Chain A
Amino acid sequence: MVLISIQNVVKRYQLGDMEVNALSGVSLEIEAGDFVAIMGSSGSGKSTLMNILGCLDRPTTGSYLLNGQEVAKLDREQLAEVRNQLLGFVFQSFNLLTRTSAVENVELPLLYAGVPTKERVVRSKEALSRVGLGKRFDHFPNQLSGGQQQRVAIARALVNNPKLLLADEPTGNLDSRTSIEVMALFQALGGSGITVVLVTHESDIAAYANRVITLKDGLIKSDVRQNPLSASAEMAAPEMSAET
């Protein structure tokens, strides 16, 4: 089943007299349950594409069908609903609310979905346990390591059972060991039917995906399927990889 289908998407920015095409005609289909990595040099349009896929931004021209629905036709309210019900985001900079406990950060999407308090807490704790933070419910972001903060962010993205998880350089601020842990999480999600699209600069990280799309100057340069590395297997032998 096709979850994402974009056709000839152009995103143009007007900077004074100059026009910049961040995306200059991208067409792409992504199957439900796939794990896709997007690569490319800085400024190639990766984040722009992610923001459009995540309904945070609209394409200048072109169409975007998400789960069979034309996103361009939705108003602000409906877009908010789509983001709430279908999508989960993980940002490079975590974007957690400060001085707000892990559970309350994770609750946020459920709050706007109108889930009653009790269920909200139960589901948030579940999501945190799922990312391995079962003992850190009441910690504030500044009491957590970078990797733990990113896992809180992932739990927040997952708590509403989204169909699509979008992660823009989620490992950009993490060391390689923590990065592998996060990738293991994403791989597990792929297994449970959630589509993951991930932006990364590092080919080591892209190696865990099933499909790698490379952008260049706002166009798709290559699109290859591959046999992914298993992050959980990698984690089982950390010393070996460290020595070699």
Chain B
Amino acid sequence: MGILQTLRVALRALLRNKMRSFLTMLGVIIGVGAVIAMVAIGEGAKAKVEEAFASMGTNLLILLPGTTSTGGAHGGYGSSSSLSWDDLKSIQTEVSSVRYAAPALRVTSQVLSEDQNWTTSVTGTTPEYFSIRSWPVARGVAMTQSDVDSGAKVALLGQTVVDKLYGPSADPVGTVIRIKNVPFQVIGVLQAKGQSPVGSDYDDCVFLPVSTYSSKVQGGLRNYINGTIYIGATSQDTTARAETDIGNLLRDRHHLTSGIDDDFSIRNLSEMASAQQEGTKTMTTLLASIAAVSLLVGGIGIMNIMLVSVTERTREIGLRMAVGAKPMHVLLQFLVEALTLSMMGGFIGVSLGLIMAQRLSSNFGWPMLIRADIIVIAVGFSAFIGVAFGLYPARKASRLDPIDALRYE
């Protein structure tokens, strides 16, 4: 008997009890549907976090003055002044795993165009900053070292600031903005970066050369960097080494003997990113195990119904054997029935899961990412469930004695 014929016989048997077949499949449908929907949402969230971290810059370390991240008293970063311009210079020259280091002095200030005003974050920095954060200009030109050296009164705008001061499609390059009553010429607009991992807007910002910032916005150059230092390591692998090297260098420069806490702190963004990813991974594992349990329950449901079916159809089995069905034929018949139930459940579950994910993401704006391999795994797993839980009832049927089966009441 061919496989097609076996399949036909199985389908007919299942169609004879439509409601029962459907209810039996329900366990698998729910299990698979849940897996597909949850993984799609989970993967979507993960992708979004990854994207957010990637847009912060690669191999990024942020050096903050003061022990702001330890102890109970939280000064807010930049509140103490422990990092000097010489510290910055020696990080740039003495640590081999550091490719770029740039100061970022920041203040929140009102910015005026000809006829609009907008309060935003104004940062004084150097051209390296944009390399560290892989942040090119979309319009105009980038900041240059000579802008910093000469203290040029030029500004780079984030897209949000452009939107607020000029309107979305306007080209502000060449116009003048005023910050603290000092005019700055807009030389470029930065590419839109979107949201940070914590949800703030990256593009709501204005950048000035750090020298100009010190003299015109901050009101005079100081010995200490009243802000943070952005550091780009040479590669992803050297980020951790750069972190320790910078730590050692600064402890040395600040004459901190062992036992005294650092008077600075270093944040490793790739570590934060991987911690985030660990979180989503745990979540995904949890969801996957819940789904596996529900699939298992679905499998037990299939086994239960197949056992009932074998008992109900004992006489049919006897008759089939009487007219020449071999044990293998009977085994296959019931196995294919179980497999059909679980695979159909799997396919319906996949479609349902996809619809569910689609709904969730369109209704709640959750991102979703459909992974083909998860679909294949889900369907494969439901096939495995069908075989694993169908085997026992099928074997039981195939081992019946024809005469006992025929006499069964």
Residues of A bordering B, CB below 8 Å = 51, 54, 56-57, 76-77, 80-81, 83-85, 89, 91, 95, 97, 99-100, 108-109, 111-114, 117, 156, 160
Residues of chain B with a CB closer than 8 A to A56's CB: 321-322, 402-403, 406
B324 touches A83 (CB 8 A): yes
Query: Does B329 have its Cβ within 8 Å of any Cβ on chain A?
Result: yes
- Asked, given contacts A51-B403, A56-B403, A56-B406, whether A112 binds B319 with beta carbons under 8 Å apart, the answer is no
Residues of chain A with a CB closer than 8 A to B326's CB: 76-77, 80-81, 112
Interface of B is mostly: helix
- Asked, given contacts A95-B315, A97-B316, A112-B329, whether A57 binds B403 with beta carbons under 8 Å apart, the answer is yes
Closest-by-CB residue of B relative to A55 is B402
A4 nearest CB across to chain B (Å): 18
Residues of B bordering A, CB below 8 Å = 1-2, 5, 12, 16, 315-316, 319-329, 402-403, 406
Residues of chain B with a CB closer than 8 A to A97's CB: 316, 319
**In whole angstroms, what is the CA distance A61 to B16 when docked?**
43
Which of A95, A99, A114 touches B1 (beta carbons < 8 Å)?
A114
Count A-B contacts at CB 8 Å: 58
Interface of A is mostly: helix
Residues of chain A with a CB closer than 8 A to B319's CB: 95, 97, 108
A145 nearest CB across to chain B (Å): 20
Which of B1, B315, B321 touches A111 (beta carbons < 8 Å)?
B1
Residues of chain A with a CB closer than 8 A to B321's CB: 56, 80, 83
A101 nearest CB across to chain B (Å): 11
B403 touches A84 (CB 8 A): no
- Asked, given contacts A54-B322, A85-B324, A112-B1, whether A95 binds B406 with beta carbons under 8 Å apart, the answer is yes
Query: Contacts A80-B321, A97-B319, A108-B323 given; 15 further ones with Cβ under 8 A?
Result: A56-B406, A76-B326, A77-B327, A77-B328, A81-B326, A83-B322, A83-B324, A91-B406, A95-B319, A99-B16, A108-B320, A111-B1, A112-B323, A112-B325, A114-B2
Closest-by-CB residue of A relative to B1 is A111
B331 nearest CB across to chain A (Å): 12
**In whole angstroms, what is the CA distance A99 to B16 when docked?**
8
A193 nearest CB across to chain B (Å): 21
**In whole angstroms, what is the CA distance A156 to B323 when docked?**
9
B343 nearest CB across to chain A (Å): 23
Residues of chain A with a CB closer than 8 A to B2's CB: 114
Ranked nearest first, the 10 interchain pairs of A and B with the lowest CB-CB distance are A84-B324, A112-B324, A109-B323, A80-B326, A56-B403, A57-B403, A56-B402, A95-B319, A112-B325, A108-B323
Residues of chain B with a CB closer than 8 A to A99's CB: 16
**In whole angstroms, what is the CA distance A131 to B302 when docked?**
41
Closest-by-CB residue of A relative to B4 is A117
B312 nearest CB across to chain A (Å): 11
Residues of chain A with a CB closer than 8 A to B320's CB: 108, 112
Residues of chain A with a CB closer than 8 A to B406's CB: 56, 91, 95
Which of A51, A80, A85, A160 touches B325 (beta carbons < 8 Å)?
A80
Closest-by-CB residue of B relative to A57 is B403
**In whole angstroms, what is the CA distance A242 to B324 when docked?**
41
A220 nearest CB across to chain B (Å): 22
Q: Can you list 7 A-B contacts with CB-CB less than 8 angstroms, sorted by A residue number?
A: A77-B326, A80-B327, A84-B324, A108-B320, A109-B324, A112-B323, A112-B324
**In whole angstroms, what is the CA distance A83 to B324 when docked?**
5
